[in-house]
Amino acid sequence: MLNKLKIVQLGEVDSTNSYALRNLSSLDDKTIIIAETQTSGRGRFERKWISDVPNNVYLSIVLKPSGENIPYSNITQYACLVLTRVFEKYKIDARIKWPNDILVDNKKISGILSEMSYGCSTVRGFVLGIGVNLNLSEELVNSINQPATALNLLIKNDVDKIEFVNLFLEEFFKSYDEFLVSGFSSIKNEYEQKSLFIGKNIEINNINGIARGVTADGELIVVDKNNVEHIVLAGDLLMI
């Protein structure tokens, strides 16, 4: 299956997401952009993503699904689930922090930045940017301004980047086409089981409460102290 994918391999690039967005019109659906390093790796909310260590994963997938009502935000959630399945192959219990962070022992190991490009009232393409801390030194991990970890530190061994990327792409494309048809409800149970936040006290978009789970469309359900239910579509979840 992997030999059918188009892969653009880059040495240093500003950001695989920026590259994909700049070249979107000439990139086919399911093209993978993978870089050795990035000079301007970006995370959500304009955060910087450390990208100068060659043996980490900096990749973007260009997606141009046809049809209507494409569940774009759910594709990102699907990718999160796929990442947890890949970490499982390394015997690591990775958990999802809604909507799309991957944590191990409450420390971030992977993040996804998905970006959309619009033409005249149509979506030109969707870019799923994935960063994974595969091989980082303890010192570097500790210098990150939020709790972070890396796979090599957890398994106490260097991680083969090609092997990890192949496992991820294999797992992602194994059920991607089917997922586009079946939608989030087909993964809701597994997404919730792999979630870190459910039943916890959280804060998001100035709402404080207990995260109850996710809706059939993947939105976050929070119940505040007055027992009022809030459905959250986007935001930065804090566990308190």
List of residues contacting ligand BTN (CB under 6 A): 15-17, 38, 41-44, 47, 49, 58-60, 101, 111-113, 129-131
Closer to ligand BTN at the Cβ: 129 or 218?
A: 129
Closer to ligand BTN at the Cβ: 79 or 113?
A: 113
User: In sequence order, what E strands does the chain have?
Assistant: 6-13, 31-38, 57-63, 95-97, 101-104, 107-118, 123-132, 201-204, 207-214, 220-223, 229-232, 238-239
Cβ–Cβ < 8 Å for 20, 27: yes
Closer to ligand BTN at the Cβ: 21 or 222?
A: 21
Q: How far is CA 151 from CA 53, 55, 107, 127, 239, in A?
A: 14, 11, 11, 24, 23
Hey, what amino acid is at 113? Answer: L
Closer to ligand BTN at the Cβ: 51 or 152?
A: 51
Sorted by sequence, the CB contacts under 8 Å of residue 202 that are 6+ apart come out as 208, 209, 210, 211, 222, 237, 238, 239, 240
Closer to ligand BTN at the Cβ: 38 or 195?
A: 38
Task: Classify residue 51 as left (phi > 0), alpha (psi -120 to 50) or beta.
Answer: alpha
